[in-house]
Amino acid sequence: HAKSQGRNTWAFYAQELTEAASERLELEAHLRRAMERGEFAVHYQPQWDTATGQVTGAEALARWHHPEQGVISPGRFIPVAEESGLIIPLGERILRDACTFWEDYTRRTGHRLTLAVNLSGRQVALPDLAERILAILDETGLDPRLLELEFTESVLLEQHHGLLRLMQTLKARGVQFAIDDFGTGYSSLAYLKDLAVDRLKIDRTFVQDLPDDENDAEITAAVIAMAHNLRLTVTAEGVETEGQLAFLGRQGCDQWQGFLGSRPLPTAELETLLSAERHSGAGTSP
């Protein structure tokens, strides 16, 4: 009895795996077609200076407008794009689109804000990524000092040499670097020191239960203090409440982003927000 049950469980499991695999393949095929059809857009989530309440920049986040399924979230398609290698042309397209828009916005308004763009490990593993990024900067005319590239701790561990090479070339041109989702990986402090990153972004899982969760409050305060000792600036991700923001302000967190300020926005809405923020002097700060 146990044996046949085991076999049934296995058959069931194998079927689930096959379904998952074919779903993935299907998504991959759709991704390829979507790239050809130009179904990807870039949305931008503003970032605020905690002390002054002014907008300092925005993060570019990929959006897939599927003709039948509507907007598909990056959490679903970025992992598939990474596994299939499609993240390389997709990431390049997102970077080019974002730099093009940012250069145009900066030139029209004279408003110099930082543009943050996410990099995947597959991109960092490319031996000529620095040259590809410099070519996009030259082509679009964006001031490299306005660009900040984000990578996660797992990229830091898996692509340490690629990152060193990338940062050496791009930092000489003024590009900045941030560690995304900080605190969720296993990166060591030694890496932080020899990589000369500019910013840590505290993952939103530490932010969501602030200020009541004592462990999260301690961790957040410690990360901010440590980062400042290493001369890094700190951005808190996923700020949704005034209570979270007030706590982060008291701890000296430099910048924040989150639904309390704004969701990621298409360019027209971003421009409306930016112009309103500029004319009101300061933004959503307490």
Interface residue list for Mg ion (CB under 5 A): 118, 150, 180-181, 237
- Beta-strand (E) ranges in the chain? 40-49, 55-66, 70-72, 114-118, 147-152, 176-182, 199-202, 233-236, 255-256
Q: Which is nearer to ligand C2E, 61 or 274 (CB)?
A: 61
| Distance, CA of 196 to chain centre | 19
137, containing H or E segment: helix 129-140
Contact between 62 and 94 (Cβ < 8 Å): yes
Contact range with ligand C2E by CB under 6 A, out of 47-55, 118-126, 157-165, 224-232: 118-126
Q: Is 94 in the site for ligand C2E (CB under 6 A)?
A: yes
Minimum distance from residue 146 beta carbon to ligand C2E (Å): 17
Contact range with ligand C2E by CB under 6 A, out of 107-115, 155-163, 225-233, 252-260: 252-260
Minimum distance from residue 53 beta carbon to Mg ion (Å): 22
Minimum distance from residue 245 beta carbon to Mg ion (Å): 17
Q: Is 262 in the site for ligand C2E (CB under 6 A)?
A: no
CA distance 56 to 49: 6
Q: Is 57 in the site for ligand C2E (CB under 6 A)?
A: no
Minimum distance from residue 57 beta carbon to ligand C2E (Å): 14
Contact range with ligand C2E by CB under 6 A, out of 7-15, 159-167, 251-259, 277-285: 251-259
Q: Which is nearer to Mg ion, 180 or 254 (CB)?
A: 180
- What are the angstrom distances between the C-alpha of 187 and each of 122, 130, 152, 159, 211? 18, 23, 9, 12, 25
Closest CA to 62 of 34, 85, 84: 34
Q: Which is nearer to Mg ion, 103 or 237 (CB)?
A: 237
Closest CA to 155 of 133, 185, 189: 185
Q: What is the dihedral sign for C-alpha 19, 71, 153, 29?
A: positive
Minimum distance from residue 266 beta carbon to ligand C2E (Å): 13
Q: Is 121 in the site for ligand C2E (CB under 6 A)?
A: no
Q: Report helix, strand or coil for 158.
A: helix
| Distance, CA of 9 to chain centre | 40
Q: Is 259 in the site for ligand C2E (CB under 6 A)?
A: yes
Select from 62, 142, 197, 232 the one that contacts ligand C2E (CB under 6 A): 62
Q: Is 73 in the site for ligand C2E (CB under 6 A)?
A: yes
Bridge partners of 256? Answer: 48, 236
Measured at the CA of 93, the angle between CA 204 and CA 24, to 5 degrees, comes to 70
Which partner from the list ligand C2E, Mg ion, none does 179 bind, CB cut-off 5 to 8 Å by kind? none
**DSSP string across 162-224:** HHHHHHHHHHTTT-EEEEEEETSS---HHHHHHHT-SEEEE-HHHHTTTTT-HHHHHHHHHHH
Binding mask 122-161 for ligand C2E (x = CB under 6 A): ----------------------------------------
Report the interface residues with ligand C2E, using CB under 6 A.
45, 61-62, 73-75, 78, 91, 94, 118-120, 180-181, 204, 237-240, 257-259, 264
